[in-house]
Amino acid sequence: MEWAQVCGGEQPEGIEIMARFVERVTRSVPMVTAVAVLATTIGAGSVGKSATVTAAGTAKPATVTRSLSPLAGADGVLDVMALGDSISRGHGDPYWNGYRADLRARLTAVGLRPNFVGPWLDGAGDNNHAGTSGARIDQIGSQVPQLMRNYRPDVVLLMAGTNDVGQHYDLVGAGDRMTALIQRIRQFRPTARVFVATIPAWTNPERKPEVDLMNASIQQAVSGLADPQVTLVPNHIVGRDAAKDLSDGVHPTRCGFAKLAYVWFLYMNESTVNPKPGSWSRGYWPWGTGRGACNP
């Protein structure tokens, strides 16, 4: 997949490994901040295949007539978990919908029945998630066994690493921590399709080397596993237009989240989430001039 197909224009400058990575298969994704690992509350509030459906977080889309995802359960519902830190939660979006609302709308439009699952609910409607503000990669990993058992997601959208950068936490070891996190998800939910994102760019140029190192580590973790169930998603392309993409230099704006949703969707389209990979209409392109979240 070419860079221009995702966001148009020239590929941004970056460390050599990221350039090779994007050039080869541009498969990465975003991820950002979170702190306060509330392990005791995991499983206390959301919707999954083994969870009780409650009014607060279970607004499932209406039945559709088009082909459903082969990963969906017997009821045709595709359980999706947004796993990570405060970006997965939706921090930066005034409505706290994050990328989930846009992604849900895109998946519904192509005939799927997505249901976002997790212990917390932010935003409107079906917006459950497993995003812990301030959490690092290792802290997210500690939550995985209970999250996978309680919510049994068909798809995991993993965004992590922003807080490791923010806390200057052993960046040299970030790749090993990410590898362990992905392996843990695969261990406790072996049937799930896992999409692993690079983190968005930061506004502060002094932090760029650390962000680049984190994204290279994420890329290396995914490529090193060589697991067909794990896909790298390039969400580091978000943040290049800081005025539009970022609310505080780190967290996405409403427009930034729309771009994240688009890139998640693009890589899901090419995967086994889609009964006919590559066949979905891409819909609204947030880098363009058409009216939408980035051009209200």
End-to-end Cα, the chain, rounded Å: 29
Model pLDDT for residues 218-268, shown as the tens digit of each residue: 999 999 999 999 999 999 988 888 888 888 878 898 899 899 999 999 999
In a domain, 157, yes or no: yes
* Owning domain of residue 154: 19-48+67-269
CATH number at residue 202: 3.40.50.1110
In a domain, 285, yes or no: no
* Mean of per-residue pLDDT scores for the chain: 80
In a domain, 250, yes or no: yes
In a domain, 3, yes or no: no
Closest CA to 263 of 81, 21, 17, 31: 31
Query: Which is higher by pLDDT, 281 or 296?
Result: 281
How is residue 219 written in tokens?
Answer: 């890329």
In a domain, 279, yes or no: no
Query: Which is higher by pLDDT, 67 or 135?
Result: 135
The pTM score is 0.79
In a domain, 154, yes or no: yes
Q: Total domain count for the chain?
A: 1
pLDDT at 106 over 80: yes
| Residue 8 to residue 134: CA distance in whole angstroms | 32
In a domain, 196, yes or no: yes
In a domain, 151, yes or no: yes
